[in-house]
A and B are shown apart, each in its own frame.
Chain A
Amino acid sequence: MHKPELLESLLRKLPMGACMVDIEYRIVFLNDFFADRMDCDEKDVLGKSLLELFPEQARFLKKKINSVFILKNESFSYWEQRPHIFNFLSSRPVTGEESLMFQNMEVLPLMDDSNEVLYACITIQDVTAQASYYNDLSKVADELDLEHKAQASLISKLKNTQSQLVHSEKMASIGQLAAGVAHEINSPIGFVYSNIEILQDYIGKLVKITQFSDKLIDKIGQEIHQKLKKDFFERHEFDYIKEDVVELVDESLDGVKRVKVIVESLKEFSHADAKHWAESCLVEGIESTLKIVSSQFDANVTLHKEYEEGLTPIFCMGMQLNQVFMNLLVNASHAVGDNGSIFIKVFSDGDYQKVSVRDTGVGIDASNVSKIFDPFFTTKPVGRGTGLGLSLSYNIIKNHSGNIDVNSVVGEGTEFIVSIPVKNAI
């Protein structure tokens, strides 16, 4: 064979696509690779417009070919940006998963002696193997990345849980301590209270007895007795004592009464058996919770209470509901900050008794409303909230076959409504 023939046969057998077109995009040469992938004979397409044979890519091919004719330089295209220029099938029709061939394209100018471009030669490289390898690799990298992120979030959840556990352990200990202290104080404070009550009675009587003796001496005693009595009374400031002693005893009784109330609410709140079902009054639950949390409210926060009269006690786990009320009240106090109002309403509504806790605080962003009952969701700064309060509350309410609803407007405030069925089955 002569050299040009050898070269042509080499070109035909090259393991890459080669297609030459003239300035009108007409095919003047097509090698075997190209023809095989087009599933045609070279002679069938010679003279036909490449743009008409591949209409979907016509605009792109036209641009590329024009640029080669005008600029007289190569032009490139990569699988990464444009994976399948020609709708050729992949080189792995049986074993592979790729159905379309990934292609790199280079368009070369073929010039005559006077440096004018005669033809543009489109060469196509099948890079399916590299591309799928690369794609697999980036898929693996993506998966690794996802896994890494999942791990990171798991770790942060674990940390949160740990701190929550520590926190609840602490709370439980404080609860037990409070219960113990309350129990211990309860009996001494009981006899101190009754003793002071008796003391109050005795003091009253003692004062009366003394006053009687005073008058008697004035009436029937001799001058010397009267003088002695007067001197003695004055030395011991009887007039002052008889006024003050009553006041002191009254004040002490009042103080001890207050201690008694605190001890009782502590006892009530830290009830030993939190899962105890009993008849309980929601208003009382709210009131006892308020005694615990109201110290957290800023002085400028006003509390409005509206309790429907004649509400019957309902069958519930009172301690656990108190936990819910506490969460709602603490959240409300955080929401209003140092100025605002908190409205508490207890009322009956059909088969339910409802407690509404409404605040005039910052409100909850609409995008967060769906998440507030998720465990660990919190918008409070680290250390301020655990993200468990509302999710625990939700579970408690669900255990009562009840509902907890929220209405919130950013900048206006938030209302939580807890509904507990009046007739609760265990």
Chain B
Amino acid sequence: MAIPVTIADDSALSRKNVRRAIPEDWDVTISEATNGQEAIDAVEAGLADILFLDLTMPVLDGFDVLRHVKDNHQKTVVIVISADIQPKSVDLVNSLGAFRFLQKPLKAEELKVTLHEVGLI
């Protein structure tokens, strides 16, 4: 059965980059969210077993989404893909239970390695 995956990012280019980086042979159903609230809605709607999450977003930012997921949907696997690569931001992301932190601009190879590492493919 296809795995529900949501890509949450306010930038269309970034969402496209993530889409392109997802291995072709990986059986997933991809949804998109353009801000933090839409990301939470997607999680609530069961569209995000795996959530690719940006941090700097309008309405609700990625940190807020992480807090919500940590408190309510511990089974959701969150992979943060962000430009905010300040050490304190990375620490905060990790403490909020994200599986991995990937730096923007996203490289397809890096995503593949990461998915392998966490056992998703």
Tell me, yes or no, whether A and B come into direct contact in the complex with CB atoms closer than 8 A: no
A-to-B contact residues, CB < 8 Å: none
